[in-house]
Structure 1
């Protein structure tokens, strides 16, 4: 059959128009923001800054500072209707200094994030926020967006990280502890009292009237064989800068008290820490520390991980927020936390 050129062109044009119209409609109703070049950018709106301290969001912050592409961080509430994700920090909600924008119509596809780095006992009453949030952002390993206090990253060949050599150089104290708030009922305080009866524990911090400046903190800890990286709350995955910064970056072997041994093993280098729960008694722990400090080879083995790894700390809220974009494609699409309190305390 002979095809008529005019009809062929007309039919082809109709198909192209129909497909193009459908694509255009999907773009208009998409929860994403288009850059105009076929690349999708995720807009993350921080409803208010944690603890009232704001950061500069000028320019392409996530790409320029952290290498995360197609991520737009904003804090102007006027952009709420076009935001893909809105983040709320829990502390300000609990202190009634901020509230959720329930009075505004919620755009279709927009997801709300509950963010907290506090342990469960410090997160307050979460009952009023049932079914309000779609995603969790926490140090917990099972959070939708994981924002740990620190983590391991591999070192480049010839890097500056010091390995086992020099691990015991200039050590003058067996065990050290830096503590700001001392509560006698806390388990860490009980362990301290028992351990101090076996071996001398050098204590710094506001509690002892000997606070350390940020510049003096790590050099002071570096003169200790062991550092008591004791968390003020014992809860799942709650491993803070006491391990990552104070002990690991300070150059002392951490004696840890916090979540389970399994939780520490999941994130920390093998043979790099000593868990209180590994011993039948605190007296046994103290005697073990004395023996280990006198055995240079065994003590140095606790620093072998530094030959291949280094610690990365997370302290900038912008970097934490950028992680939303780096994980965005794998985040649940239609999830709702009907009982946020149960998840937090679980």
Structure 2
């Protein structure tokens, strides 16, 4: 209640620079104002300039701006396993709107399909969705939740493999879609975000895609095995923070400003801190490693 978001930077205590639109340090802000690098996307086009604080999804940011939060529940939570199992009628779904990224995630999903995994791909990179649910802006719509709920699994491949970079789509799968995410790397999801081990399946837990496909078939055809991936719900809560100002970094930014603990700390070169070089490069790509082994799939 002590903070306001305004669009007149001359009156502001903190000035936020949105990463993708940051074209140069504003020399007109005063020494009493805090310059904050604010970004939710992975490293793309950034220019070297001086910034005081960082406000991103990365865990080493001055102000953490998460896509979601996973918390230990205060007490046991009742889960209706019978209803959950009964509503799961289909195998795997993927809603994807950006077909242009070069981490080979689409090729990886296609290889899984080729190997026998039944994936319904919707969106601009697949078939049209029911009720016009296409588009990134609609990922949090009720129609998307309804689309996902009958599926046991969902592809949750990010458009880039960068430290701590897990977007709201992963959290939403756990929060209200009751669908088990299939991610690329366990380390990013588990080590960095503390997601329960049995809340998702990671490609890199398997030597090749054939082993992964066989494992998913085993789990989806066994009520007991599948519900093991839902048992964490008794002990954890999940909330997508993307559209909740209380759960995002803005309240933390306000508190930091109210503490009046302004220091002379600054990042002289943001391009080295938030650089594409911190991400896995396409030529050394994670997906490529598995695609090179695609001959191991039963065709």
> TM-score, normalized by length of structure 2?
0.78
- The residue aligned with 1:203 is 121
**Structure 1: unaligned runs, 5 residues or longer:** 1-59, 61-70
- The residue aligned with 1:179 is 96
Q: Higher RCO, 1 or 2 (CA under 8 Å, sep at least 6)?
A: 2
- The residue aligned with 1:115 is 38
1: distance between equivalents of 2:261 and 2:84? Answer: 42
Q: From the CA coordinates, give the structure whose radius of gyration is larger.
A: 1
Contact 1:163 1:307 in 2 (8 A): no
Q: Are 1:274 and 2:201 matched, yes or no?
A: yes
1: distance between equivalents of 2:153 and 2:110? Answer: 16
- The residue aligned with 2:266 is 336
- The residue aligned with 1:86 is 15
Count of aligned residue pairs for this structure pair: 261
Moved more, 334-343 or 203-212: 203-212
Deviations 1:166-188 (A, max 9, x none): 33222222111111122485321
Give the secondary-structure state (helix, strand or coil) at the position aligned to 1:136: strand
Contact 1:228 1:255 in 2 (8 A): yes
2: distance between equivalents of 1:72 and 1:222? Answer: 38
Contact 1:184 1:190 in 2 (8 A): no
Q: Give the CA deviation at 1:233.
A: 1.1
1: distance between equivalents of 2:244 and 2:147? Answer: 27
1: distance between equivalents of 2:88 and 2:58? Answer: 34
- The residue aligned with 2:8 is 77
- The residue aligned with 1:66 is none
- The residue aligned with 1:189 is 106
Q: Are 1:224 and 2:151 matched, yes or no?
A: yes
Q: Give the CA deviation at 1:247.
A: 4.7
Give the secondary-structure state (helix, strand or coil) at the position aligned to 1:153: strand
Of 101, 124, 133, the residue aligned with 2:26 is 101
**Structure 2: unaligned runs, 5 residues or longer:** 134-140, 279-299
Q: Are 1:307 and 2:206 matched, yes or no?
A: no
